[in-house]
């Protein structure tokens, strides 16, 4: 009888003095491919890191590789969040830097990153081409790492892992940030590597999974419990009935302009690469839009224009809040009217502030708190902390929170000032389904008061009910604009997928 591939006995792990696991036991046998699910903060990532042997992981964990396999005898862990470095080894980037031409010149290209990875692991470059094509990544080989969106960075890490084909592959939230077609193709690629001998552990709460997954487990109260596919806990979810803070439901002031956004033949290029092509889009005050498109279609760049982060806004015919860009307004005057969350903002956000400081900083559009906010702002921040269930984390540093809790804190920061325009770019990425429903309920309540909304989301089940309009991008151009989302097929079946 062959030895178990992974054997964990009495694993106990604390994080920030709080127990994560208490006597956790788990055995993974040959040919088993596991899905690990559970609520945000239950310890899924901690378990993945412990198996991968990353720093600060402790416990009795034995890994038995197959000596007869041609695959690398290693555990390869793909984190949900990847921090790249520039050519000088630095990783302290800021959000707007990805649109800066000079910054692009100091970071490696995707091609160089792949060449370096291939050389390190003695891989053949020609073998990665089919993986790049399947994940829609072939055209990005000449892009620099700083220019990639969060979804594109996730794809790059998946490309490297699938190219490597380790004996044990652990993927933490692998579907986050991926459009529907990329998810389907990823599942096909995972089935191929499993057939080649790679064993899989997926950390995910998704339901569309590769067919090779034959074991399911949840982490509950520090224990790993095996369940059937039908017993996964997300099938029965109760939405919190907490009252939305009253300061967020008060009537918003009526602006003097009828348009929030008007773009006329907007183009964005980097050299010969055209990212946005002749964009025409009008968003009237109070409208609720969903912005969609495949990974790399130009969504993030379009939003960067609206938020004042992209320098090429001044070279285009673009009106915002009733004024043409470049008519004397400052970036900070624009930002004070907008509440924004995006995977990229989360990525570059300063994690050294506490949860409370991070949320109250939303009043000032800063990454930290540099002044006394006063009684009213403090009280409103405390209300939001309670609404999102973050009371026990109030004085915890952001980088000490599980990813889902970090996301909730940044969502609270986004809405704390009750802005005229909400831009929510995949806001529920990393949240469990209960948290997603809770947040989208809040969005629906906020938008009853005339708040204008732009919401980026791939899946109908994860959209708020208030959405009225849809704009679809494809390869940097507007493919379609609709007046109501009901006119289209299910979001999972849009043509771009």
Q: What is the DSSP string of 386-453?
A: HHTT-GGGTTSBGGGS-HHHHHHHHHHHHHTT--SEEEEESTTTT--HHHHHHHHHHHHHHGGGT-EE
Provide the token pair at 143.
Answer: 């892009």
Helix (H) / strand (E) containing 289: strand 288-293
- State residue 166's pLDDT score: 97
- State residue 345's pLDDT score: 79
Give the β-pairing of 273-284 and 259-270: antiparallel
- State residue 101's pLDDT score: 52
- State residue 16's pLDDT score: 65
CA nearest to 195, candidates 31, 413, 23: 31
Domain(s) labelled CATH 3.40.50.300 in the chain stretch across: 6-235, 246-493
Beta-carbon contacts of 102 under 8 Å, excluding residues fewer than 6 positions away, are: none
- State residue 87's pLDDT score: 47
DSSP state of 109: B
- State residue 291's pLDDT score: 94
Separation between Cα atoms, residue 377 and residue 386, nearest integer Å: 14
CA nearest to 95, candidates 409, 365, 293, 296: 365
Separation between Cα atoms, residue 161 and residue 200, nearest integer Å: 11
Beta-carbon contacts of 489 under 8 Å, excluding residues fewer than 6 positions away, are: none
Instruction: Give domain 6-235's CATH architecture.
Output: 3-Layer(aba) Sandwich (3.40)
- State residue 94's pLDDT score: 43
What's the pTM?
0.81
- State residue 496's pLDDT score: 42
Beta-carbon contacts of 13 under 8 Å, excluding residues fewer than 6 positions away, are: 19, 20, 21, 24, 43, 46, 50, 57, 58, 59
Separation between Cα atoms, residue 451 and residue 414, nearest integer Å: 13
Per the CB < 8 A criterion, the answer to whether 24 and 223 are in contact is yes
> How many C-beta atoms surround the C-beta of residue 332 within 10 A?
11
CA nearest to 430, candidates 455, 412, 403: 403
Which of the residues in the chain have pLDDT under 70?
1-2, 15-17, 55-59, 81-106, 231-241, 251-254, 367-370, 460-461, 483-497
- C-alpha angle with apex 400: 397 to 402, nearest 5 degrees? 125
Separation between Cα atoms, residue 285 and residue 54, nearest integer Å: 49
Separation between Cα atoms, residue 248 and residue 252, nearest integer Å: 9
> How many C-beta atoms surround the C-beta of residue 450 within 10 A?
15
Exposure pattern of 71-88 as b/e (b: 16+ CB <10 Å)? bbebbbbbbbbeebebee
- C-alpha angle with apex 454: 452 to 459, nearest 5 degrees? 135
Residue 371 zone, left/alpha/beta (φ > 0; ψ -120 to 50; rest): beta
- C-alpha angle with apex 116: 111 to 117, nearest 5 degrees? 100
SS3 13: strand
Per the CB < 8 A criterion, the answer to whether 178 and 156 are in contact is no
- C-alpha angle with apex 415: 261 to 336, nearest 5 degrees? 50
- State residue 81's pLDDT score: 67
Only one residue has tokens 């979810």, namely 237
Per the CB < 8 A criterion, the answer to whether 71 and 197 are in contact is yes
Give strand pairing partners of 292. Answer: 472
Instruction: Give domain 246-493's CATH architecture.
Output: 3-Layer(aba) Sandwich (3.40)
Only one residue has tokens 């912005």, namely 291
């Amino acid at each position: 009888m062959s030895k178990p591939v992974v054997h964990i006995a009495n694993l106990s792990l604390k994080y920030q003095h709080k127990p994560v696991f208490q006597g956790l036991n788990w055995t993974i046998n040959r040919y088993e491919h596991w899905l690990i699910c559970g609520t945000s903060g239950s310890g899924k990532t901690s378990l993945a890191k412990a198996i991968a042997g990353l720093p600060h992981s402790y416990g009795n964990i034995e890994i038995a590789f197959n000596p007869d396999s041609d695959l690398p005898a290693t555990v390869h862990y793909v984190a949900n969040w990847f921090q790249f470095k520039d050519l000088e080894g630095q990783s302290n980037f800021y959000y707007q830097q990805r649109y800066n031409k000079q910054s692009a010149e100091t970071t490696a290209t995707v091609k160089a990153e792949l060449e370096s990875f291939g050389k390190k692991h003695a891989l053949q470059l020609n073998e990665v081409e089919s993986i790049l094509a399947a994940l829609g990544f072939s055209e990005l080989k000449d892009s620099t790492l700083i220019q990639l969106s969060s979804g594109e960075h996730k794809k790059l890490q998946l490309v490297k892992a699938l190219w490597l084909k380790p004996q044990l592959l652990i993927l933490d939230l692998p579907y986050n940030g991926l459009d529907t077609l990329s998810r389907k193709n990823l599942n096909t690629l995972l089935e191929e590597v499993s057939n080649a001998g790679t064993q899989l552990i997926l950390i995910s709460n998704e339901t569309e999974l590769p067919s090779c997954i034959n074991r399911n487990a949840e982490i509950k109260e520090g224990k790993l419990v095996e369940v059937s596919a039908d017993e996964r806990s997300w099938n029965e979810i109760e939405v919190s009935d907490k009252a939305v803070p009253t300061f967020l439901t008060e009537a918003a002031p009526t602006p003097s302009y009828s348009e929030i956004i008007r773009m006329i033949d907007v183009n964005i290029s980097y050299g010969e690469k055209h990212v946005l092509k002749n964009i025409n889009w009008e968003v009237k005050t109070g409208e609720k839009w969903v912005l969609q498109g495949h990974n790399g279609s130009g969504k993030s760049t379009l939003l960067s224009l609206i938020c004042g982060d992209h320098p090429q806004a001044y070279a285009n015919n673009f009106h915002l809040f009733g004024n043409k860009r470049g008519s004397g307004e400052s970036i900070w005057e624009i930002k004070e009217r907008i509440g924004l969350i995006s995977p990229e903002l989360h990525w570059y956000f300063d994690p050294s502030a506490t949860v409370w400081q991070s949320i109250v900083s939303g009043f000032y559009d800063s990454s930290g708190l540099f002044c006394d906010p006063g009684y009213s702002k403090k009280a409103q921040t405390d209300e939001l902390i309670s609404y999102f269930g973050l009371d026990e984390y109030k004085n915890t540093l952001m980088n000490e929170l599980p990813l889902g809790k970090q996301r909730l804190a940044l969502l609270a920061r986004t809405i704390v000032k009750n802005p005229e325009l909400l831009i929510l770019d995949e806001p529920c990425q990393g949240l469990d389904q209960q948290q997603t429903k809770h947040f989208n309920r809040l969005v629906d309540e906020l938008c009853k008061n005339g708040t204008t909304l732009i919401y980026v989301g791939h899946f109908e089940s994860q959209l708020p009910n208030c959405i009225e309009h849809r704009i679809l991008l494809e390869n940097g151009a507007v493919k379609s604009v609709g007046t109501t989302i009901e006119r289209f097929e299910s979001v999972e079946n849009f043509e771009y997928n």
